[in-house]
Amino acid sequence: MHEQQRPGKIGLRLIAAITAMILLALPAAWVSAAEETLKSIEFAGIDNTLSMHVDDTRQISAIAEWSGGTLKDVTFEAVWITSNSGVVQVDKGLLTAKAAGYADITVKYSTVSKTMRVTVTYEYDKVEIASSEGEPVGSTLDTEVGANPALKLLAYKNGGSSDVTGDAEWSSSNEAVARVSGGKVEILAPGSATITARYKGRTDSVKLNAVTPYASLALEPDELIEFRYGDAGIQLAATAALKSGGSEDVTAKAEWQSADTSVATVKNGLVKPAGIGTTTVRAEYLGVHDTVTVVVRPAFAALQLSADKPLHLLLGSDPVQLQVYSANDPDEPGENVTALAEWKSSNVYAVTVSGGLVTAKEEGKARITATYKGRTAAVDVTVYPRVKSIEVDKTSIDAFEDGEGALPAVTGVTLTGGKIDVSDLAEWSSADDDIVTVQDGKWLARSLGETVLTARVGARSAQVKITVHEEPLALLSDAEELTVVAGKSIPLPDVTLVLKNGKFVEDAKSKAEWTASSPNILVSAGELKGLITGQYTLTASYLGKSISFRVNVEQEIVRLTASAASVELNPGKTKTLQATGHYKNGKTVNLTGKVVWTSSNPSVVSVNGNKIKAEAPGQASVSAQYQDQQVVVQVTVTPKLTKLNASVKSLELTPGHTGQVRLTAVFDKVGESDVTGLAAWSSSNEQVAVVSGGKITAKAKGTATIKAAYGGKTVTIRVKVNEIRTGQ
């Protein structure tokens, strides 16, 4: 029993005030309180201490008092605090005793607070689990599955005891072995479980050790059970053998279970086939069990639908009747079970089915299934909206003899103007099956020629021209790289189509489809236009073949110069030339490898890239061409001079007399040539003798050396001028 606290003077006054408030309940009182000053807060009916027993609860009220004498219950508005929640917990004035000890409970409201000491003790000295006869059971209890012992809980105080079984809190540590309620224990399976009873903070436990009274369980029949789908069930019997000897039919008592109820079900030992497959049936009774394997086989090999591919229906089209067959032999027709099968639609909003009759209702998709004796066959159905016209994604097709290809996609224009893919709905035909036929969703080219393919969706149609060509081998061109000035155009390169039969189609350039790798180059009217400088790719495609060209878009060259304006070479000698391009902005670029070098006379000067070679004496012009600019280099080929000979080595003259010297040049592989008039003549002493064109004129007595120079070689003639003798 709880100890009763006598209310003090303050407590009595508070109780009276609360009673008055309840009786009067006047709103004006609260208005008055709002205008007064908060004075204190008190626990209703309690001074500063309170005693409780473990597991007891008690609701405490808090009353606030104002300066004018106004009282108010603030229990649920105040803040409640416990100094030790392990001993006493508090929630809006509700105290719960958790363990022996003490705790200070504080209530706070606005600026005032109040604290009391709560002491918690045990109401009973101890509790003890006993048998139904009242005898203590100790720490362990051995029992058998199915025994189901009844227990009591006795609470002791001051040397006496009370039966608190019904008020106690009972629990089991392992409810798979034993369950307990109100002291009554139900043993479910062999094993161990701890039974615990709690009352007023005191607890006691006993460990149960449960064993089965049975040695084994056997099922009959115990071998493999086989069904055909649709067969009747088989009754199993379960017999349990006692450890003490003898046996017991526990078919009705056992717990039966199928590992896969979609294959077979079991109830009280009656096994029934539910679907095709394999499962295990288990029977268990008081810790012993046995199993048997169950196989459910199909009643037939396959269920076949008359539709072997998805159905595509136009809204408003006639219903389609499906048939379904059960088949065991691929060489014999199966049994028509259309009327016996269960038909279902996965989306009845779009498609309904009854007895295999499929009806389109609204735009959408559905799966139609037919089920018969565990077998299922299905087909997908798509319903399309009504269309006012249809379009094909291409108006012409190029084909090759004996070739095949996919039919063009077909688009339907709905009544609302929207577009949908109706390719699966389209029915195709050819105007000339000798040229092209339509089969299994493809066109097949039979012979060279041209015909028309027609697609029909309901009453709507669209056409495609198809041309059957000789099969191509490759596209060829003499050009590999193209150069175009930014802002200017050049003709597209010539392209030749080579057929597998060896024929050449020269006009492939005009028939090909030209595409550029960048919008910075433009193809139009047979010309290529460069827009922005850079390197790009131009591709020509025709009849499934393609060829690509490198395209260089360059700045305009306003002037072209060469590394030399003129060159002189001996036969057999070579020289490399360099070409430089000049832009408008003054910058230059080396174009040596890009220009085209040509010779005006290859027999005199030959050209190989930027290397020229002197072939024979003479003159020739070597020109470099790039964009619209040209530069010319004059080349002179002279034979190699090996020796220079004069007709005399010395002369004696008298003043006023002359002597003629003939100069001969000897050239390698060419022979001799009179170069008297071509040589450079000079005198070492023009006071003695002068020379011009090989003619030496004596001036005065003395000696002089006459020098002739030609082609890098020189020759000298010694001249002696004597005095004129009198009488001579």
Q: What is the CA radius of gyration of the chain?
A: 61
Query: How many whole angstroms separate alpha carbon 676 and alpha carbon 691?
Result: 12
The residue assigned the tokens 């109706």 is 422
Write the DSSP string, 507-544: THHHHSEEEESSTTEEEETTEEEE-SSEEEEEEEEETT
Query: How many whole angstroms separate alpha carbon 18 and alpha carbon 67?
Result: 16
Judged against a pLDDT cut of 80, whether residue 301 lies above it is answered with yes
Q: What is the pLDDT of residues 421-468, one digit of tens each?
A: 999 999 999 999 999 999 988 999 999 999 999 999 988 999 999 999
- Average pLDDT for 106-114: 95
pLDDT higher for 217 or 13? 217
Per the document, the length of the chain is: 728
Q: What is the DSSP pairing of strand 588-590 with strand 566-569?
A: unpaired
pLDDT score recorded for residue 648: 94
595 token code pair: 């220009």
The pTM (predicted TM-score) of the whole model is 0.44
Query: How many whole angstroms separate alpha carbon 355 and alpha carbon 370?
Result: 9
Judged against a pLDDT cut of 80, whether residue 13 lies above it is answered with no
Q: What is the pLDDT of residues 20-64, one digit of tens each?
A: 444 334 343 334 445 789 999 999 988 889 999 999 999 999 999
- Average pLDDT for 287-314: 92
Which residues have a Cβ under 8 Å from the Cβ of 185 and sit 6 or more positions away?
A: 148, 149, 150, 151, 172, 178, 179, 195, 208
566 token code pair: 């003129």
Q: What is the pLDDT of residues 245-279, one digit of tens each?
A: 999 999 999 999 999 999 999 999 999 999 989 99
Judged against a pLDDT cut of 70, whether residue 625 lies above it is answered with yes
Phi, psi of 147 (to 5 degrees): -70, -40
